Amino acid sequence: MFKSIKEDIKVVFERDPAAKSLLEVVLTYPGLHALWAYRAAHALYKRRLYTFARLISQTARWFTGIEIHPGAKIGRHLFIDHGAGVVIGETAEIGDCVTIYQGVTLGGTGKEKGKRHPTIGNHVLIATGAKVLGSITIGDYAKIGAGSVVLKPVPANSTVVGVPGRVVIRDGRRLDDLDQTNLPDPVMEMMTRMQAEIISLRKELSELKRGIGDDRSDL
């Protein structure tokens, strides 16, 4: 237990440049508090003490704003940054070295039974406000852009953005700094292409009108 706590604190210092001191991290990081409460609740959940497990998780939710169902399976070195509004469902599975920002939901679609929440691979980044829904798999080293809604499986080493989420980079270079802002925007790219086509059509229409006007003047 103490080894896990030490590892959790080390992860915060590695991934959050705002972390100043050990005391600050231990006392003021809700992501850590929610993770520690989850571990206690998960131990009870595995012993089928479901009510007590849910009481712990709901108490942690009250104090941290982070809801982790005690039935979820979480690997090592999870980092929840800020954490407000994070929801992790009962059958969700999270691998090692995953980073989750505030407002992320690992939820279900309301249609499945049994395994109804996503499986997250290792070294995955899920940026602010992203929603990953259903019994889908997010491959290792994948990155989910801020505000994306992911409803389909994501291959490893991919970047997903948009609503619904679309893979825009695959087998690309990994961003070591885990930057969640410098991601391509497929919607903006599509709008740019449409604007270029509209300008081209307007030019062709103008030339056509000019040609018709010249024909009439000849008459």
Query: Do residues 197 and 95 share a domain?
Result: no
**Distance between CA 195 and CA 183 in Å, rounded?**
21
Structure tokens at 155: 């291959």
Are 216 and 118 contained in the same domain? no
| C-alpha to C-alpha distance for 166 and 151, rounded to whole angstroms | 9
Confidence at residue 194, expressed as pLDDT on a 0 to 100 scale: 87
Residues 94 and 179 in one domain: yes
Which CATH number goes with the domain that contains 67?
A: 2.160.10.10
At residue 213 the predicted structure's pLDDT band, cuts being 50, 70 and 90, is: low
- What pLDDT band is residue 5 in, cutting at 50, 70 and 90? confident
Mark whether 216 and 119 lie in a shared domain: no
Range of the domain at 215: 185-219
pLDDT above 90 covers a percentage of the chain that reads 60
Looking at per-residue pLDDT, the higher value among 136 and 180 belongs to 136
Can you tell me the mean pLDDT for 153-170? 87
Query: In this structure, what token pair is assigned to residue 128?
Result: 């602010």
Mean pLDDT of 125-139: 94
Provide the pLDDT for residue 91: 94
Q: Are residues 169 and 204 in the same domain?
A: no
Same domain, yes or no, for 176 and 200? no
- Same-domain pairing of 211 and 131: no
User: In the predicted model, what is the mean pLDDT of the chain?
Assistant: 87
What are the DSSP E strand ranges found in 49-193? 67-68, 73-74, 79-80, 87-88, 93-94, 99-100, 105-107, 119-120, 125-126, 131-133, 137-138, 143-144, 149-150, 158-161, 166-170
- Per the omega criterion (within 30 degrees of 0), is the bond before 164 cis? yes
The pLDDT of 74-95, averaged and rounded, is 93
pLDDT digits (tens, 9 = 90+) for 167-189: 887 776 443 444 555 555 666 77
pLDDT computed for residue 178 by the predictor = 45
How many domains are contained in the chain?
Answer: 2
Query: Is 76 in the same domain as 61?
Result: yes
- pLDDT exceeds 70 at position 160: yes
Over 90: is that where the pLDDT of 82 sits? Answer: no
